[in-house]
Structure 1
Amino acid sequence: MAEDTIQRKRRPGRSPATSRPLEGALVATPEVDDARQHPIAASDAFRQWWDYSVDFAQRWILYVDILRQRANNMLAHEEAGLPPLLHFDYEMLLDARTFERPANYALLRITRCGTDHLEERVKAGATPVIVIDPRAGHGPGIGGFKRDSEVGMALSEGHPVYFVIFFPIPCPGQTLGDVLNALRILVQEVASRHDGQAPVLYGNCQAGWEVMLLAAHCCEHVSGFSVLNGSPLSYWSGESGVNPMRLLGGFSGGVWLANLLADLGNGRFDGAWLVQNFQLLKPESALWEKFYAVFANPEHEAERFLEFERWWNGFYFLSREELVATVQDLFVGNKLESGEVHVDCDCTVDLRRICKPVVIFASYGDNITPPHQALGWIPVVYASTDDLVAAGQRIVYLTNPHVGHLGIFVSASVARHEHRAILQSLEAIEALPPGLYEMTLPGSTSELPDEKKIQVKFEPRRVEDIQFSYPRAEFERVRAVSEFNEKLYERLLSPYLRSTATTWGAEWQKWAHPMRWTCYAWSERFQPWLSLVAGIANDVRTTREEATADNMWRSFEQAVSMMMTDVIQVGRSARDSAVEAAFLWFYGQPWPYLPAQQDNPATSNARCCLEVARGFTEQ
């Protein structure tokens, strides 16, 4: 999935001479100068065609060579064990695979960036920061992908920085409770290294709701601030026709399909399936724009493309137990905001137990975790502003108008603007009286020197004003159907599949996944003739002949590319609207789902659980 900060914008700004390439090249217009008032001569048109043909052929060779390099990078990264792609040097402090309750997590301490010894930058008594990357199909590293990143900004502000990574393969039978127990020990280790000072937990995407589970379940007295970046907590919320991912559970029948894929994978779920879902959200970027940007300008885009694709194509696994609990309780069940999530079968997570400030960063350009899902839990957990104040909690949120999901974590400008402002404002947030606040920032601060403090404002907001409507009754029926189907699957089909699953079969499925073979198929290991491309590409780079910017055929190519983007985008918009309409029609009538809902009485007790939790808090 291509993001605003990772690749070119879909419609880059063009000069007036090229903004209308077809007309400007062949037809006189009042805006052009006298030299272009006449049709292009045949000889000039042929020369432009020849220049463009040479340029096109050379770009095609370079493009294929870049795909070859991407495939080799993917295979080399896989053979190296998929290590975290951090821009910073580090030392490993704890490996949770050795714990009494093992989990595939580890704690790193950031030590150096290039030639800079970071101990020299750490301020005495500064609050430690723990950055936790999302475990949603990809590997760790996105929070420290470059110098201007969350890790880099925390270091520049003088904080000692730690990074929580995870390994490609989960421990056998690993549960969500095992993960939370491991994270609790890692947080306690950091606190013990700083005289018991509670660290800031910086959670990205999926790691954000893990941070909230951790703070509410078993670490409320050890952890400090919870910073949630693009993290969903209200999973049914979203804008109609814009956020279709929340509807997937309704069309797949719930969690049973994820359980099936995990059973076929011999107890492990391949994260490539999650990444494929992300790409399908915006196919115009995943299928066309990302690759055309490289083809159009291979010399300048190659390094950026290869660097990002090394991370994007490194797929990690989840255990069956952890995945089923996550999908059923959170993404399909939406039980976190209602206080129904059970950890280790004997503890219910209540977000009202979190007493330390919570900072939420969301973007309206994020089609994976829109502000609806990042903020929608607040009025569910706290009935009113007075309720929030009475609980003694401070919630601060800030929004970006356009950046995409990955841009929240990897954009250098976002890091130097929003993340830098958050880290500089920790003491100010701590001093705020209980309540809900919106954090507003000046227009652009990316050019400010590191020592310059960003001037931010905290504007009081009302919980009652955060209202995101969605078809709740329909989602309740989806949850009931999911739980009903899961029981049937566990009793009828799952035992057979688990008994027949093999390591060999799981490995075959891994490498047969389209997210993998469409990438590694471009390696000369699988197509030996591609080894010739490397030599030809080197010759092309030394004899490169680019078509000029005013070449009429190059302008025509750009126009065709934009047309392709528009066609795919129109198709995607039509698909999303049709999916929304089908969902409402399919789950709009209550009577077909009465047996499933009666079989799962918990679906009608969500509000009761919340009222009980509020009663205990008030007492």
Structure 2
Amino acid sequence: MPTEAHRTHHAIKQPAGRTAPNETLEAGHLASQLTAAWPFELAAYQLDLWHRSVRYLDTLRERANNMLEHERAGKPPLLDFDYETILDGRRLARPANYALLRITRVGDDCLEDCLDARNPPVMIVDPRAGHGPGIGGFKRDSEVGMALHEGHPVYFVMFFPDPLPGQTLEDVLHVLRRFVETVAARHPGQPPVLYGNCQAGWAIALLSADCEGLVGPAVLNGSPLSYWSGESGVNPMRLAGGLLGGAWLTHLLADLGDGRFDGAHLATNFESLKPANTLWQKDYQLFADIDGQRERFLDFERWWTGFYALSKEEITAIVENLFVGNQLERGELRVCPGCTVDLRRIRNPLMIFASSGDNITPPHQALNWIPTVYPSTAALKAAGQRIIYLLNTHVGHLGIFVSSKIARLEHRAILESVGELNDLAPGLYEMRIDNPTGDPDCHKPQFQVRFEERRVEDLDYPDQAPAFDRVRALSEHNVAFYETFIGPWVRLAVNPWMAETLRQLHPARTSRLMFSERFAPWMTGVKWLADVTEPARELLDDDNPCRQWEARVSESIATTLTIAGTARDSLFEMGFLSLYGWGLPSEDERRR
């Protein structure tokens, strides 16, 4: 099932070593314009380039200072809403570093007059995937904002930067269950709607399996439950466990952190997926439109550069049991002695929101667990379960949570349809949205939502389980070897001072903090230059030939890095298949 990006890439592919005639003519035209522009157009462009360069460096300086300020403040959740703490999970009998918040105010507007007593509460859980909480309420047009707009009481589950010593997944699930019980007690007769983003989605699935009758519909946004699924050449992240030899490296990094796993490692993994964006496009978009993109860039980087830690017990259980072991969909995940999670125990309706443009959690990983748990449509109906999925064709992973356009359409439509989910007959459905307006103030019937029945048998994704079973077996051997012969010596050598030094020297931090005046005193001069030159700046016309030439050079660099990333992913795929894929059917055999 190739994505739109894939199809587009193949549709425009040019033969190697040849240039399209129109591109040659356009390049020649720009070259002649550039020559004719001398000296006035070129002088104007050089002045604009100087101003943008100063402003760009000043933006990086401010990003570094924001990062330091956020850390000094204790890394609070970056919510664009006022809130109060209802329950601090660190103070429970079985504690974990989570807290339950209630959204109390939007700007100057108190919520009590806006809430609809007929609507159930919504509890939003953000992922612990390297960054801090807030992605679900990052701005007004967000999951939190849309839930408030529809009149739902909104609760938000946040977490603190550091885990408690020895904190386990069982501890986390125990605290989350207490949060669900607390919200349910505050709203009798209205089971809360659970909203899980990314990695929080599987936590919501575990809660649903454990809290039968206590929770309402669960919405899983970009959430992986089938970790071995994916499309060859499109979703390389799922291969990382095999190429690294399993989960032993996770044990090593957690030991080097003195029992804590630095979230900066996870952020670096995400950034490596798209080298063109990480190494060039993100920064060039800021540089090219420094006035229009500066605040948006700084707002997002406040969240992106806030790295949170996980305990060794948590991260190793996640990697071994989910990413490498894929035990959740197979009913083999043990969160405590004698406690095995069975997704068939889930009785509340599940709404799954995924995107074909998501290369981190593609639809394969969001949906392929369904035919594993329910082999047929008849089995799903016999279990009395309702599973609904909504697919977007292009938005990326983070866009599912932070895009205003997605919040104003998909999330609004989901929230307005929550009451209908319980009324559906058991079965599998696809949610379709017709005639979208994009207006956050509109309601049904200005847009229509349909639930079209589907068959479990039609969820036909390639099966690569034998290869990943070999990865799991190798991982278990490597982890046993590490913990027996290497781990004890690493833990003996590492102390808190060394762990903190390694944390501060992580490239994800140093590459940003190097622009702060605290580490680079000359950046004070950049701030002075930005303040002096900004009042005298004049915007350059987009039709300036020098500026057009700059854009073409940027496109060439981005294309080169994209090709390099694609080639790297292809090599990874070939290496994985050569190591673990023997005996698997080829693509042609699978099609036949």
Tell me if TM exceeds 0.5.
Answer: yes
Counterpart residue number, 1:119: 112
Q: Select 2:333's aligned residue among 341, 345, 361.
A: 341
Counterpart residue number, 1:58: 51
- Provide the TM-score with structure 1 as the length reference: 0.89
- Provide the TM-score with structure 2 as the length reference: 0.93
1:202 touches 1:227 (CA, 8 Å); kept in 2? yes
Mapped partners of 1:103, 1:80: distance in 2: 21
Mapped partners of 2:436, 2:22: distance in 1: 31
Moved over 6 A (4+): 19-22
* 1:525-584 superposed Cα distances (whole Å, 9 cap, x missing partner): 111011011111012210113322111111010000000000000011111111111100
Change (3 A) 1:43 1:105: same
Paired residue type of 1:230: G
1:22 touches 1:552 (CA, 8 Å); kept in 2? no
- List aligned pairs for 1:292-371, cutoff 5 A: 292-371=284-363
Mapped partners of 2:118, 2:45: distance in 1: 61
SS in 2 for 1:241: coil
- List aligned pairs for 1:416-431, cutoff 5 A: 416-431=408-423
Unaligned runs of 5+ in 2: 5-20, 584-592
Mapped partners of 2:422, 2:114: distance in 1: 23
SS in 1 for 2:123: strand
Paired residue type of 2:463: Y
Mapped partners of 2:444, 2:57: distance in 1: 45
2:217 touches 2:421 (CA, 8 Å); kept in 1? no
1:269 touches 1:318 (CA, 8 Å); kept in 2? yes
Aligned residues between the structures:
563
Counterpart residue number, 2:125: 132
Mapped partners of 1:532, 1:443: distance in 2: 53
Q: Does 1:80 align with 2:73?
A: yes
Q: Does 1:373 align with 2:365?
A: yes
Paired residue type of 2:468: F
Q: Does 1:229 align with 2:215?
A: no
* 1:112-158 superposed Cα distances (whole Å, 9 cap, x missing partner): 01011111111113101000001000000000000110001111111
Q: Does 1:480 align with 2:473?
A: yes
2:131 touches 2:303 (CA, 8 Å); kept in 1? yes
Mapped partners of 2:510, 2:32: distance in 1: 48
1:22 touches 1:556 (CA, 8 Å); kept in 2? no
Q: Select 1:567's aligned residue among 553, 560, 564.
A: 560
Residue 26 of structure 1, CA deviation: 5.4
Paired residue type of 1:391: A
Range moving further from structure 2, 547-556 or 270-279: 547-556
2:247 touches 2:316 (CA, 8 Å); kept in 1? yes
SS in 2 for 1:164: strand
* 1:349-388 superposed Cα distances (whole Å, 9 cap, x missing partner): 0000000100000000000000000001000000100000
Counterpart residue number, 2:399: 407
* 1:373-422 superposed Cα distances (whole Å, 9 cap, x missing partner): 00010000001000000000000000000000000001111001000000
Mapped partners of 2:463, 2:524: distance in 1: 54
Counterpart residue number, 1:501: 494
CA RMSD of aligned residues (A): 1.8
Mapped partners of 1:370, 1:40: distance in 2: 45
2:227 touches 2:326 (CA, 8 Å); kept in 1? yes
Q: Select 1:184's aligned residue among 171, 177, 200.
A: 177
SS in 1 for 2:124: strand
SS in 1 for 2:452: strand
Q: Does 1:471 align with 2:453?
A: no
Counterpart residue number, 2:207: 214
SS in 1 for 2:127: coil
* 1:30-61 superposed Cα distances (whole Å, 9 cap, x missing partner): xxxxxxxx965966432111111111111101
Range moving further from structure 2, 283-292 or 450-459: 450-459
Paired residue type of 1:384: S
Counterpart residue number, 1:524: 517
Mapped partners of 2:355, 2:369: distance in 1: 16
Identity of aligned residues (%): 56
Residue 22 of structure 1, CA deviation: 8.1
Counterpart residue number, 1:95: 88
Mapped partners of 2:48, 2:263: distance in 1: 39
Q: Does 1:283 align with 2:275?
A: yes
Q: Does 1:462 align with 2:462?
A: no
1:133 touches 1:143 (CA, 8 Å); kept in 2? yes
Counterpart residue number, 1:391: 383
* 1:420-474 superposed Cα distances (whole Å, 9 cap, x missing partner): 0001111111111000000001253312524445310100000000011032111
2:198 touches 2:224 (CA, 8 Å); kept in 1? yes
1:156 touches 1:450 (CA, 8 Å); kept in 2? no
SS in 1 for 2:422: helix
Mapped partners of 2:451, 2:418: distance in 1: 12
2:34 touches 2:545 (CA, 8 Å); kept in 1? no
Mapped partners of 1:39, 1:411: distance in 2: 41
Q: Select 1:162's aligned residue among 138, 155, 163.
A: 155
2:262 touches 2:309 (CA, 8 Å); kept in 1? yes
Residue 346 of structure 1, CA deviation: 1.6
Unaligned runs of 5+ in 1: 5-18, 29-37, 591-619
Change (3 A) 1:500 1:443: farther
Mapped partners of 2:520, 2:482: distance in 1: 41
Mapped partners of 1:552, 1:518: distance in 2: 33
Counterpart residue number, 1:617: none
1:130 touches 1:201 (CA, 8 Å); kept in 2? yes
Change (3 A) 1:177 1:349: same
1:21 touches 1:559 (CA, 8 Å); kept in 2? no
Residue 263 of structure 1, CA deviation: 0.6
* 1:139-196 superposed Cα distances (whole Å, 9 cap, x missing partner): 0000000011000111111110000000000000000000000000011000000115
Q: Select 2:134's aligned residue among 117, 124, 141.
A: 141
Paired residue type of 1:469: P
Mapped partners of 1:204, 1:42: distance in 2: 53
Mapped partners of 1:220, 1:148: distance in 2: 32
Mapped partners of 1:26, 1:266: distance in 2: 59
- List aligned pairs for 1:248-259, cutoff 5 A: 248-259=240-251
Paired residue type of 2:561: I
